Amino acid sequence: MSIDNTTLSAFTNLRYIGYNEGSEYGYGASGPMASSFNGAGINKTITGTFPFDILSSCKTKIIMFAGFFMGCTATAALTETPAFPGTLFTGASAL
Comparing 43 with 27, the larger pLDDT belongs to 43
Q: Total domain count for the chain?
A: 1
Which residues, other chains included, contact 15 with Cβ-Cβ below 8 Å and sequence gap of 6+? 58, 61, 62, 63, 64
Residue 20: what pLDDT?
54
Task: Decide if 40 contacts 87 (C-beta within 8 A).
Answer: no
pTM of full prediction above 0.85: no
| Residue range(s) defining the domain that contains residue 57 | 1-95
What is the per-residue pLDDT across 36-48, written as a single tens digit (0 to 9) for each?
566 666 788 888 8
Confidence of residue 19 (pLDDT cuts 50, 70, 90): low
